[in-house]
Amino acid sequence: MLPADLTAALGLSPRRLAEAVHDLAEVGFVVETHPMLGLRLVGAPACLLAEELACELAVNRVGRHIECVEATASTNDLAWESVAKGRDASDGLAIFAEHQTAGRGRRGSRWLAPPHTAILCSVVLWMPRAGAAPALLTRAAAVAAAEAIEEQADLTAGIKWPNDVVVEDRKVGGILVEARPAAEGTTAVVIGIGLNGSQGPEAFPPDIRPQVASLGMLGAEVDRTLLARSLLERLDRVCGGVDWADENEDVRHEAARRCRTVGRRITLAEGGEVYEGEVVDLDPDYGLILRLADGSQRRFGAMTSHVVSGGRPGAG
């Protein structure tokens, strides 16, 4: 577009337009200037930018404040630092990092991702004390992540109970929900989400490579900015109600539909004991119902138990 047309469309003076182009170049945008054709955007930075994520973002609460950092130990840690500043400063805040040096997953596992390859995000929500059940928020966030992947990567995404997002039975994402009592009978909740974007197989330790993948490894070319925006909009829909004390019934049904663990045989640990059986259903509180060898059924909570093995096709 010719500079004169661009200044008229944007309501900028020629000097302010030149300054804006310079500012874009400073953060990594590549703008080509031609004496006859004018200005053309030919390249964008590899990093996520808060301004791009926030531009006309269709949210009411989740993502109304956005921060992007190059590196941090953990986005969840940064989120908890923001909680200390109070509800007004932190509720709805979404923090993205290009790289985590100590990213954590469930049960103390590490979340590994080279810089500029993944979505590494934490969202802060202040909840009524009775409505801050981590299991229900885990379920809702997993649904939101699966929907965002399907929209932006055109891949069918499911949930491996309780907190993994899977494509073709390979883990492409994970959820970690942490909750702490806060002021005046409320609970501060941090929802940590990691989605593998463009990593190659070499980014994952050899012992887990068969079970994990990035969206790129599965054939998708994903714009991380669009994926992050989609994730925030879906999180806002399923988790963003100000007085959220229970999930929308649609979220429950959607999580059950996407759950790849139902119908499979697994080995599961709870309270120092190990159990084996077939997963027959999920209960309303996101507990897993296992049919044991003697035919009896037992419920296992999402926050008190974990799958030791199984949950894949053919698992015995």
Asked whether residue 306 carries a pLDDT value surpassing 80, the answer given is yes
User: pLDDT per residue over 236-295, tens digit each?
Assistant: 999 887 555 556 788 999 999 999 999 999 999 999 999 999 999 999 999 999 999 999
Residue 88 is encoded by which pair of tokens?
Answer: 């007004």
Give DSSP secondary structure letters for 201-234. Answer: GGGS-GGGGGGB--TTTTT----HHHHHHHHHHH
Sign of CA dihedral 68, 69, 73, 78: negative
Asked whether residue 130 carries a pLDDT value surpassing 80, the answer given is no
CATH architecture of 50-258: 2-Layer Sandwich (3.30)
More confident position, 173 or 132: 173
pLDDT confidence band for 110 (50 / 70 / 90): low
Q: What are phi and psi of 107, to 5 degrees?
A: 60, 35
User: pLDDT per residue over 28-52, tens digit each?
Assistant: 777 787 777 778 877 677 799 999 9
pTM of the model: 0.86
220 residue type, one letter: A
State the pLDDT at residue 151: 97
Sign of CA dihedral 160, 166, 171, 174: negative
Which letter does DSSP use for residue 112 in this model? -
* Helix or strand (DSSP H, E) at 239: helix 224-239
State the pLDDT at residue 316: 22
Which letter does DSSP use for residue 7 in this model? H
Q: Where in the chain is the domain with CATH 3.30.930.10?
A: 50-258
State the pLDDT at residue 86: 94
The CATH number for 265-310, chosen from 3.40.50.970, 1.10.10.10, 3.30.70.600, 2.30.30.100, is 2.30.30.100
User: pLDDT per residue over 92-105, tens digit each?
Assistant: 999 999 999 886 65
User: pLDDT per residue over 192-222, tens digit each?
Assistant: 999 999 999 999 999 999 999 999 999 999 9
pLDDT confidence band for 53 (50 / 70 / 90): very high
- Contact between 164 and 196 under an 8 Å Cβ cutoff? The reply is no
Residue 24: exposure state from Cβ atoms within 10 A (0-12, 13-18, ≥19): middle
- Contact between 120 and 194 under an 8 Å Cβ cutoff? The reply is yes
State the pLDDT at residue 103: 67
Closest among 300, 264, 293, 269 to 280, alpha carbons compared: 264
Section 125-137 average pLDDT: 83
Q: Where in the chain is the domain with CATH 2.30.30.100?
A: 265-310
